[in-house]
Amino acid sequence: MGKTAGKMSESTEFRSRRGRLACSARDLWLFATDINNFNRFVPGDTVSNWKSDGESCTFDVVPLGRVSVVLNEKVPFSKVVYAGDVLQRNNFTLLLDILDTDNDSSEVDITLRADLNPLMKMMISKPAGQFLEMMIGEMEKFRDWKQA
């Protein structure tokens, strides 16, 4: 009888609700593709040591540790993908799907994908959902899309 190796981690997706924003899809895309703006929607009380060079950023998040993020893909006015890692070992992607509704508003869905083992998936499910809800909420309140 042969042994079959079990998969230690699997790709897990967490999705936000659809957010309605007070900016055009173009303005959201331009804002989101500037990595310097990435921290605008990450909770300030949990982030420290923010550094950005325009193409990538690093910061510390309580209780995760060091996070590195790079702009990975951008499809004009419809999609932005960030790739990152936590403590140089847990890779993730953060995908913004942008929907154009009219000149003054747009909608966005955020998807967080990570390779997680079953225990990590269980531990991270609630915080990931809270993180995505917080991001959508902050984006919905934000009004200075063209000022950045």
Place of tokens 């403590």: 87
Q: How many domains does the chain have?
A: 1
Q: Would 83 be classed as within a structural domain?
A: yes
Q: Would 2 be classed as within a structural domain?
A: no
Q: Which CATH number characterizes residue 134's domain? A: 3.30.530.20
Domain that holds residue 42: 11-141
Long-range contacts of 36-39 (CB under 8 A, 24+ apart): 36/148, 37/148, 38/69, 38/82
Nearest by Cα to 110 from 85, 90, 133: 133
Phi–psi pair at 63, nearest 5 degrees: -105, 15
Q: Would 44 be classed as within a structural domain?
A: yes
Question: How far is the CA of 60 from the CAs of 3, 21, 63, 145, in angstroms?
Answer: 41, 28, 9, 25
Confidence of residue 6 (pLDDT cuts 50, 70, 90): very low
The structure's pTM equals 0.86
Q: Would 4 be classed as within a structural domain?
A: no
Per-residue pLDDT for 1 more than 50?
no
What are the pLDDT digits (tens) for 80-135? 999 999 867 778 999 999 999 987 899 999 999 998 888 888 888 888 888 899 89
- Residues 68 and 58: their CA atoms lie apart, in Å, by 4
Place of tokens 């992607």: 93
Burial readout 8-35 (b: 16 or more C-beta within 10 A, e: otherwise): eeeebebebeebebebbbbbbbbbbeeb
- Residues 146 and 131: their CA atoms lie apart, in Å, by 24
Per-residue pLDDT for 39 more than 50?
yes
Q: Would 6 be classed as within a structural domain?
A: no
